[in-house]
Chain A
C-alpha cells in the first residue's frame, strides 16, 4: 500500500520534471535492455536533450555514430532530422539506419548556432536535432530544455572539448569512445564497438556499457558493466 503510494508520487514528480510516462506508441526501443534500465521508467528519454562529450576528432566521430544510431531508432517510423555541424558525410548515415535524404545539414554559423538549435528544437515536425556546439551553460540549456518539453523533439549535443564542464539542464551526459572492433571470424575490421558511458542521468542510474553496432542494430557485449570509475559525477537519484 505504502510502496504503491510512493511509486505513484515518484511518477508524479517525474511528470513534473518533464518526464512523461510514455505511451506504448511513443516508446522507442533501442535493443539494449541494460542500458534502458538506467533511465527513469526504464525508457530512453526522447523529447529531451542529451549531451555527448568528446575530446578528440576520433571521439567526435564515435559520438556522431552513436547519436546517428540513436536518431535512426527514433526516426524509425518517419520524420526528419536536422544536423548542425560540419564534416558529416551523408552516405555514412545509411549504416546507422538513417536515410540520408531525411537529414537536413546546417553548418554552424558563428554566434547563431544556439539560436538555430533553439529554432530547430521548437519545430514539432522534426524528430531529432543533432547539434555540434562547444559551450553550453545552464541558462542556455534550460531554454533548450523548455523548447523540447513543448515540442517533444529529441536533441543530441556533441560537445567537442568544452572549456567548462558546468551543469546543464540536459537529461543525460554521455561519453562514447572507441573500442577495438568485435571479432567476426573474418580478418579485418569487425563491427564498430563503443564504450558507452552514461556520466550523468537525471533520475536514473549512471553506468558504463560495451556496445557494438551490428547490421541488425545495437548489440551488447559481454564486457563487464561497471559504474563510472570516479565519483566526480554526483548522481541525483530519486
Chain B
C-alpha cells in the first residue's frame, strides 16, 4: 500500500489555545511572551497581532512602543507539547498512528485511512473543519512523504493534495525552509542565491553535503521518498484493531450495538483468517467532548465467535455514557492467541466444539458475576487437606499428578474447621461422643487416626490426627485432634467435614 502522510500545521497554536479558554480575548490583539536572555521576547502572536505587524521574535518592549494597547500573556514552558499531545490523542479518530511534530504540528500516517471518509479530499476537509470548529487555525496537506506534507502544509500555495510520485514537482517551487533545515544552513543557501528548492534539486548529493552538511541531503532524500523517516506515534499501534468513525455522532444503545457488531465482524473475519482468537478485547468510544469511554472483556479460550463476543460486550454497553455523542468506535484485541493450539490440547473425552461452548459459558458467567468466579481444581501434591488441590485458570490444563484414592475424604469440607468438645479415651482412641453447636453426637463407629503433619517448609503448627466417625443415625463426620495429649490441658478437637 502506498504510504500517505498528513501534516497539520497549527499557525497560532498557543494563541488559539488561550482563546479557546478565554473567549473574551477574541477581538483583542495579544501575544504570548517568554523570557530570553534577560528580555521578554514575543513567542506567539494571534492573527490580529500579525496583521498589525507584530511577529514572533520581537522584543516585548519594542512591540509595546508600536502598539501600547497590546495584551501580553506569559508563555508557560512545556505547554506546547501538552497541547500537541492532547490534539494528537484527539486525532487518533483519523488514524491510529499520530505523531507529535513540535513545535507547532502533528503528523498523521493516513495510509489506508482516507477512503473511510470518502477520499483524501474529504478526509482533509473533515480534519480542517473539525479543528477549525474547535478554534484552531490550521493548514494541512497530504502527501506520500512526511517531508513533502510538512512543506506543503506550511509553504504550499497550489493544492494540499500531493499525489504519490509528484513530490519533486510539489516542493520544487517552495523555499529551502520547507525542507526543515537549521537557520545557519538556510542562511548559507540564501547567500549563494538558492531561494527555491528547484535551484538545488539537480545538484549531486556529494556536493550538497560538502557545502551544506549531511542534514540537507537527508532531508531532501526523505522528502523525495528515497530515505525512510521514522515517526513516533503517541500511542503504540495495536496489531489487532478495528475502527469505525460515525458520520454523525451517535447516542443510542442500538447505534452502539450496531457499531460493536460491525467492528466485531471486521475483527473476527481477520482473526479467523489467521486462525487466531482473542483473549481480551477493549471497546472504546471516542466522545465528542474528547473523553474516551471504554469497556473490556476477557475470554477463557481464544475466540473469534462474533455472537459470543457480542454477547459478552453487550452486557457492558450500559457502562458507556455517550454524553453528547460518540464520533468514533475502536475495537482492540490486545491479547490474541492461536486458536488451533488450544483445540489440540483438548482432553480426549471432549468433542471438538465442546470446550469452546463451555469456555463461552464461563465467559458469560465471569462477565456477569465477577472475574475468575469459575474454578477448576487439579490435585496438588500435599497431604494437608486445605492444600490437597489447587485452582487452575485454564480449561485445558491437564493434571500432573493423580488424585489420591486410598484415603477417604469428606465430600463437604468446612472452609474453617469448627471447634468441638469431645470425650475420648487416651491415648489414641476415637472419641466416644462429641458436642457441636449445643448438640451431642454419640459415636458408634470410627476409623482412624490418620495423622497429617504440618508441612514445615510452608507453615509451622501442630499436626492433626483425623478420625472418621459415624453417629447413631448414620451421619459421618471428619474430626481431628490438634497435636498430642499433654500434661497440661487437653488438646483441641475440630470438626472439619461431612462424609456422604
Which positions in A face B, CB cutoff 8 Å?
57-58, 60-62, 64-66, 68, 77-80, 82, 86-96, 99-107, 109, 112, 115-116, 119-120, 123-126, 177-181, 187-190, 192-194, 213
Q: A91-B389, A106-B365 are in contact. List 19 more A-B contacts (CB 8 A).
A: A58-B473, A60-B412, A62-B475, A62-B500, A66-B500, A78-B349, A87-B414, A88-B413, A89-B389, A90-B389, A94-B403, A96-B411, A100-B378, A105-B375, A123-B357, A180-B472, A180-B473, A192-B500, A213-B500
Evaluate contact between B498 and A126: CB separation under 8 angstroms.
Answer: no
Instruction: Return the contact of A124 from the options B357, B476, B498 (Cβ within 8 A).
Output: B357
List of A residues within 8 angstroms of B364 by Cβ: 119
List of A residues within 8 angstroms of B429 by Cβ: none
Interface presence of B23 (CB below 8 A): no
Evaluate contact between B353 and A125: CB separation under 8 angstroms.
Answer: yes
Give complex CA distance A189, B446 in Å: 6
Which positions in B face A, CB cutoff 8 Å?
349-351, 353-355, 357-358, 360-362, 364-365, 368-370, 373-379, 385, 388-389, 398-399, 403-405, 408-415, 444-447, 468, 470, 472-476, 497-500
Evaluate contact between B498 and A58: CB separation under 8 angstroms.
Answer: yes
Evaluate contact between B411 and A61: CB separation under 8 angstroms.
Answer: yes
Task: Identify whether the interface residues of A are mostly helix, strand, loop, or mixed.
Answer: mixed
Evaluate contact between B370 and A189: CB separation under 8 angstroms.
Answer: no
List of B residues within 8 angstroms of A179 by Cβ: 474
Evaluate contact between B375 and A88: CB separation under 8 angstroms.
Answer: no
Evaluate contact between A57 and B498: CB separation under 8 angstroms.
Answer: yes
Evaluate contact between B409 and A92: CB separation under 8 angstroms.
Answer: yes
Instruction: Return the contact of B410 from the options A66, A89, A120 (Cβ within 8 A).
Output: A89
Evaluate contact between A105 and B361: CB separation under 8 angstroms.
Answer: no
Give complex CA distance A181, B475 in Å: 9
Evaluate contact between A106 and B374: CB separation under 8 angstroms.
Answer: yes
Instruction: Return the contact of B500 from the options A65, A94, A109, A188 (Cβ within 8 A).
Output: A65
| Closest B residue to A215 using CB positions | B405
* Given known contacts A101-B377, A123-B358, A65 and B365 CB-to-CB distance under 8 angstroms: no
Evaluate contact between A80 and B410: CB separation under 8 angstroms.
Answer: no
Instruction: Return the contact of B476 from the options A66, A112, A181 (Cβ within 8 A).
Output: A181
Evaluate contact between A80 and B350: CB separation under 8 angstroms.
Answer: yes
| A-B interface, 7 closest residue pairs, ranked by CB to CB distance from nearest | A65-B500, A61-B498, A78-B349, A89-B413, A58-B475, A178-B474, A125-B357
Evaluate contact between A92 and B411: CB separation under 8 angstroms.
Answer: yes
Evaluate contact between A181 and B445: CB separation under 8 angstroms.
Answer: yes
Instruction: Return the contact of B373 from the options A58, A64, A99, A106 (Cβ within 8 A).
Output: A106
Give complex CA distance A119, B308 in Å: 13
In the complex, what's the smallest C-beta–C-beta distance from B360 to chain A, in angstroms? 8
Evaluate contact between A189 and B476: CB separation under 8 angstroms.
Answer: yes
List of A residues within 8 angstroms of B446 by Cβ: 188-189
Chain A CB within 10 Å, residue with most, of B385, B398, B403:
B403
Evaluate contact between A64 and B500: CB separation under 8 angstroms.
Answer: yes
Give complex CA distance A103, B391 in Å: 12
* Given known contacts A61-B411, A125-B357, A188-B445, A107 and B373 CB-to-CB distance under 8 angstroms: yes
Evaluate contact between B403 and A89: CB separation under 8 angstroms.
Answer: no
In the complex, what's the smallest C-beta–C-beta distance from A160 to chain B, in angstroms? 11
Give complex CA distance A102, B350 in Å: 10
List of B residues within 8 angstroms of A105 by Cβ: 374-377
Evaluate contact between A116 and B369: CB separation under 8 angstroms.
Answer: yes
Give complex CA distance A86, B415 in Å: 9
Chain B CB within 10 Å, residue with most, of A66, A120, A177:
A120
Give complex CA distance A180, B476 in Å: 9
List of B residues within 8 angstroms of A123 by Cβ: 357-358, 360-361
* Residue contacts A-B, CB under 8 angstroms, 12 given: A57-B498, A58-B498, A77-B349, A78-B349, A89-B409, A100-B377, A100-B378, A103-B376, A104-B358, A104-B376, A115-B368, A189-B470
Evaluate contact between A106 and B361: CB separation under 8 angstroms.
Answer: no
Give complex CA distance A104, B393 in Å: 11
Evaluate contact between B474 and A119: CB separation under 8 angstroms.
Answer: no
List of B residues within 8 angstroms of A178 by Cβ: 473-476, 500
Evaluate contact between B445 and A104: CB separation under 8 angstroms.
Answer: no
Evaluate contact between A78 and B350: CB separation under 8 angstroms.
Answer: yes
Instruction: Return the contact of A181 from the options B353, B361, B404, B474 (Cβ within 8 A).
Output: B474
List of A residues within 8 angstroms of B351 by Cβ: 78, 125
Evaluate contact between A100 and B389: CB separation under 8 angstroms.
Answer: yes
* Given known contacts A101-B399, A189-B468, A125 and B358 CB-to-CB distance under 8 angstroms: yes
Give complex CA distance A91, B466 in Å: 16
Give complex CA distance A187, B446 in Å: 8
List of B residues within 8 angstroms of A68 by Cβ: 411, 500
Evaluate contact between B373 and A91: CB separation under 8 angstroms.
Answer: no
* Given known contacts A61-B500, A188-B447, A189-B468, A109 and B373 CB-to-CB distance under 8 angstroms: yes
Evaluate contact between B373 and A125: CB separation under 8 angstroms.
Answer: no
* Given known contacts A104-B375, A120-B361, A192 and B349 CB-to-CB distance under 8 angstroms: no
Give complex CA distance A174, B290 in Å: 60
List of A residues within 8 angstroms of B398 by Cβ: 101
| Closest B residue to A66 using CB positions | B500
| Closest B residue to A193 using CB positions | B474
* Given known contacts A181-B476, A189-B476, A92 and B357 CB-to-CB distance under 8 angstroms: no
Evaluate contact between A61 and B412: CB separation under 8 angstroms.
Answer: yes
In the complex, what's the smallest C-beta–C-beta distance from A57 to chain B, in angstroms? 6
Give complex CA distance A109, B362 in Å: 14
In the complex, what's the smallest C-beta–C-beta distance from A127 to chain B, in angstroms? 10
Evaluate contact between A89 and B497: CB separation under 8 angstroms.
Answer: yes
List of B residues within 8 angstroms of A66 by Cβ: 500
Chain B CB within 10 Å, residue with most, of A89, A104, A194:
A89
